[in-house]
Structures are given as C-alpha cells and as structure tokens.
Amino acid sequence: TDAVAEKTTAPVTDNLRDLFVDLSKRLVPAVVNIYTTQTVSAGGGANPQSELYRRFFEQFFGEDFDGGQGGGGGPPGLPQGGQGRKATSLGTGFIIDDKEGLILTNYHVIADAEEIKIILTEEDKDREGIDAKVVGGDAEADVAILKIKPDRKLKMAPFGDSDALQVGEWVMAVGNPFGHGHTVTKGIISAKERVVTPISPFSNYLQTDAPINPGNSGGPLINTRGEVIGINTAINAAAQGIGFAIPINYVKRILPELRTKGAVTRGFIGVNIGEISPPLARYLKLPKNTRGVIITEAFEGAPAAKAGLQVYDVIMEINGKRTLDGGQLIGTVSAFTPGTVINVKVLRGGKEKDVKVTVGKRPTRDAMLSQGPGKQTPKGKAAKPAVNVGMAVDEIDPEMRQELGLPKALQGVVVSRVSPNGPAEEAGFERGDVIVEVDQKPTPNVRAFNG
C-alpha cells in the first residue's frame, strides 16, 4: 500500500516542485528591490499622512514596522538612519513596462521619500542602485508607479485576471523581506473581496497564506500561469498565515490615469451608508435575508439625491453587481469615471426599484487625513442616558459640527455615550454617531430625541 501511495503522490510533488521552480526563474528577474531615504525629525513633526500609514500598517506588520516600508538597513551608497536625521526604508516592486522603465509598487513604500534607489538583481546588491522618480501615486489605493533609466534590458511581469481567481488556487509571492533580497514564498488564495479599511476602502483585497513579510510590500502575487494577479500589501501581525494583496484588476483600472495624470479621480454618489442589522431589518420590515447596504443620508445636491435615492433605501446592486457591504459599495462606485451613468437597484417599501445615477467626482480626503487618526468626539454636556435605549446624546454645536465635518443642513444629535450590553450597543450604535430621525421623525435636538 505504501509503495502504491508513493507512486501516485510522487508525480504530484514533482509537478509542484517543477511549477514553482519554473515560475521563480521566469518572474524573479522582473522583481526589484526598492530603497528609500527620508529626513525624520527627532522631535516629531512627521507628515500626518505618513503617520496614518505607520499606525495603520503597524496593525498588520507589528510594532517593528519601520515607517510603513519594512525594517532594516539599505544597500551601500545610501545614508543609514541615525540620530533621528535620515531614515532608510525598503520595499519591493516589479517592472510593468520594459521600454519605459516603469515599476509598480505600493504607495506607502515611497511615501515622502527624498531619494529612491532601485536594485535590479542580486548581483547589484553591492552597488549604489539606479535613481527612480515617482510618475504617479495614489495614497488611498496604496499604489504608485516609478520610472527608471535602466542600464540593461529589463524583464517585464505580465498581468493576469484577478477576477478569475478561485479560492484554493496556488499562488507565489516574491519580495525583499527585511532587506535580504529576492525571496520566493508560496501559498493559496484563502479568500477574495476582503475589506481592509485601515489600508484602503477602495480595493477588495485578496487574502493569501503565502508568507508576506516587512519589505515584501509592493511585490507581485503570481498565479500558476506566471501572471501577476495582485500586489502584496500587508500581513496581520496578530495572526499567522493571513496576508493581503491588491487585486491586479483594480490596479488595471486606475493605471492609465496614474501614468498620464499622476493621480486618480474617483467616482462618488454622495451617500452615507450602514449595514443592515437585525433590529434595523425588523424596524423597516425588510424581507428575510435581505442583502445590501442601507442609505442613512443622501447629501443634498449630490448625485444620489439628484437621482432620487432616499434615506432607508437598501442598495442591492450596482450595474448588476451585488453590494453586500459598505466596503464593496465604496470600491465599486469609486472605480467609475465621473460622468458615468450607473444603474442602482434599491429596495424601497418592500419593492425593488432601478434608479439611474450619474456618478460625480469624489472629494479629496487630504483634509481629513491631515487631521490624523484618533479624533475624539467633542466634549459637551451630555443628556441623561435614555433608559429604554441605553445611550446618551448631546446637542451639535458649531464647534462640534466643524470637528465632525457635518454638513450645515444636517440636523440631529450626537451619541456621547453607549451603555454596555444595552439595546443601543446591541443595535450597533457607537460614540460619535449622529442620529437624525427616530421612527422617521426628525431629531434636531435632545428634547426631540427624548420626546
């Protein structure tokens, strides 16, 4: 029996070995190591956007994550970090245009870099590296394009189709972990369309168990046909075997604009949305197993309101694609070019309705990012907790309105405290939520809310 088992399994093992050996030989030459330097003030004062990236990526790479690009030193010729003056970081990229010398990587790899050096091969590790400049970058998608003037013929990594991937498929990751140079790891696609909001709300990530370590950021995730199907981005430091990659089909959509304009313009319909909780479903008398996201606010003058979308509409599909959660909705809408007319299928009053919406241009988040994370709910005199709902609310004064970034026309009360294990907590209310209606009656102030 053992002999039979050995004969039947050995060819499979040999095939896998040959597969990954072949993939490595073909794709590793298209992968580059990226080293950057930037000035870091010993007394703080770091760029707020970079600080956001550092904090967000520490959730995935751990506290040793260095500046969002991995740890370790750099190659000879680059000044090493010291005394809070110069910091050297590293990452990975891959060549997408051999004639133009274009390299694709993560935005956080090169964010705020004053100098970028590219190491093409292992044999070049002892050299200074080739200077690179940024052609385009998108912080919110975490994608950047670099350009070099190569001193040799380049090897290009072809794109695949990430939408065609199936859970369980073999994949290979190539990167520069901890500055050790080209390293290959393998695994499978564990899941698709994962929402990793701290990194980006615009890309429904691929999840893989292929090891992705600090320094691998920006490297390719490759299928068994030797095609790039994702950009390795992050791992979860608290859980081994959980890594994320940006689907290459999403990158394909924004790549032309990044190359020509250096930035990305995103679609926007102008709604606030929420998940459908069981209490909300009961209150709105939604059919069982209703899937979608519910509109909690349609901004006045924005595309959704102009098209007739309303509060309490449940968005079920956009152009025939299901919208199962908020992250998926944001990613879908943002991928449309402003001016595109899309079909939004909603559930309203128990009936399905198709609404044509002309996509607008999404406002920039620069102002929000510059405020940094951890913004606190403004202080104020809170109303006494309503015993029947288990939360306290407060009036929205001008200072609070400005701090929360609320429209002037929005009238409501802000949740200042949620009682543990109470009805409000069970329903999903959080501190800082703004309540505009109760039982479809406006709540412009605390008295109206308690009434």
Quick check: helix, strand or coil at residue 89?
strand
Active-site residue, selected from the candidate residues 66, 138, 142, 325 = 142
**Structure token digits, residue 175:** 């990167």
Catalytic-role residue among 50, 66, 89, 108: 108
- Is 287 buried (19+), middle (13-18) or exposed (0-12) by CB count in 10 A? exposed
Tokens coding 358:
């002309």
| CA dist., res. 415 & res. 434, Å (int) | 6
What b-and-e string marks burial along 302-325, b requiring 16 or more CB atoms within 10 Å of the CB?
A: bbbbbbebeebbbbbbbeeeebeb
Task: Please indicate whether residue 108 is annotated as part of the active site.
Answer: yes
Neighbours of 168 (CB within 10 A): 8
Instruction: Say which of 217, 325, 334, 416 is annotated catalytic.
Output: 217
Other C-beta atoms closer than 10 Å to the C-beta of 380 total: 14
Smallest Cα–Cα separation from 227: which of 23, 415, 11? 23
Do residues 230 and 162 lie in contact, with contact meaning Cβ atoms separated by under 8 Å?
yes
Query: 241, 204, 248, 200: which is closest to 223 by C-alpha?
Result: 248
Query: 356: exposed, middle or buried (C-beta count within 10 Å: 0-12, 13-18, 19+)?
Result: exposed
Q: How far apart are CA 281 and CA 260, in angstroms?
A: 46
Q: Residue 214 in contact with residue 64, Cβ under 8 Å?
A: yes
Give catalytic status of residue 142 as yes or no: yes
H or E element that contains 238: none
| Secondary structure element (H or E) that encloses residue 233, with its range | strand 228-235
Could you tell me if 319 and 305 are in contact, meaning their C-beta atoms sit under 8 angstroms apart? no
Q: DSSP secondary-structure letter at 68?
A: T
d(CA 102, CA 244): 23
Q: Which of 179, 247, 222, 217 is nearest to 20 (CA)?
A: 222
Cα 212 from chain centroid (whole Å): 16
The answer to whether 342 touches 320, Cβ cutoff 8 Å, is no
Active-site amino acid positions: 108, 142, 217
